[in-house]
Chains A and B, each alone.
Chain A
Amino acid sequence: MKNWQGRTLGWELRDGVVELTLHREPCNEIGTETLAELEKFVAALGAARSEAHAVIIYSSLKQGFSAGADLRELYSGMQGLPAGERAKGVRSFLERIHKVMNALDASPLPTIAAVHGVCFGGGFELALACDLIIADKLARFCFPELRLGLVPGFGGIPRLKRDLGNGIVRDLLLTGRSLNAARAHSVGLVSQLTAEGEALKVARATAAQMGKFDRETTAAAKRFAKPIPHDELRREIDLFCELFTRPAVEAGLKKFVESKEALPYLP
């Protein structure tokens, strides 16, 4: 697998571990450009099995892992389009991002999200597609989508339901509040909690440990322990598209995009 640098992310093979670095300012918002580069990444990952034993995803930006979907791009892209066209465009995006998330989820290589700072919305969904989340003490996890009149659209609810009890799923989803890393660790979302700035280092040590095991056995164990909820993921796309064309969504996005408040992620 050749090292590669794009405009929003890059990857390198380091000590048998594929490290995907997110680096799109301000906080790795996932729009069409990031999506295209993630597609490139999962295509390359398919060929990495002979050289690598694990994958780490992390952000090189101070603000955090990812603030989620690029809502500014989403809002500007929907302007002037009739409802039918809006739904068509968003469905196409969701189909593509789901393919990326599913490929990552199903990768025979164990995957680790090394998280610091903000891990919101689509960024949280990217972390949930990984096998382990290793987070530093200042990380926060949130699904703010309901505040915009939407549900998470990159596979968040089915994957969260797969991993956690339904009480905490409803708490995150229905309040839109963010959980700190300690709480996320206590409910089983985060597998290892680290000191500030140490998530990547701990993720590398964990990946090295994973490299001691037989790769076929690791892949079989992962398939057995982590079934992909395909039916629910399909239904999530339908639900998101159904909700997306309602006026409340455009109003919520407009408020977010035009906000000058210190906490604009809270519509």
Chain B
Amino acid sequence: MPTMNQTLEEVLNLTAKQFNVPRAELKPEDDIFKKLGINSFQALELLTRLEQHFNIELPDYEFQGVTDFKTLAERIQSRL
């Protein structure tokens, strides 16, 4: 099982790739939605890609409560 730091790194890498943002610009404490300026459709696509990548299911209501990448990684980690 990956460590929390590994999961966080994978979340940041995947997000940077999906939204074509330089990886160095993304910080664990960044507000995901404000930082990326994404709409609900893009947020759902990110959710799906994360589920595919980690081979998990992350219910929307857990994703909705997340504001930053670190918390998102924690939610994912709890389902690995």
Chain A residues in the interface with B (C-beta under 8 A) = 27, 63-64, 117-118, 137-138, 140, 142, 175-183, 261-266
Contacts and interface: CB of A to CB of B under 8 A. Distances in A.
Given A142-B60, A263-B40, A266-B64, 14 more contacts: A27-B41, A117-B41, A117-B44, A138-B45, A140-B47, A175-B59, A179-B57, A180-B48, A182-B51, A182-B52, A183-B57, A262-B33, A262-B38, A263-B60
Contact of B61 (A64, A118, A175, A264): A175
Contacts of B26: none
Contact of A265 (B40, B52, B57, B59): B40
B20 interface: no
Which of A138, A178, A263 has the most B CB atoms < 10 Å from its CB? A263
Nearest to A139: B48
Given A63-B41, A140-B48, A262-B40, A180 B60 contact: no
Interface string B29-68: 0000100001111011101110110000101110110000
19 contacts: A63-B41, A117-B41, A118-B44, A137-B48, A140-B47, A175-B59, A175-B61, A177-B59, A177-B60, A180-B47, A180-B52, A182-B51, A261-B33, A262-B33, A262-B43, A263-B40, A263-B63, A265-B40, A266-B60
Interface of B: 33, 38-41, 43-45, 47-49, 51-52, 57, 59-61, 63-64
A117 B44 CA distance: 8
B59 A64 contact: no
A61 B63 CA distance: 25
A137 B41 contact: no
A117 B47 CA distance: 12
B52 A137 contact: yes
A119 B61 CA distance: 17
B59 to A, nearest CB: 4
Contacts of B52: 137, 180, 182
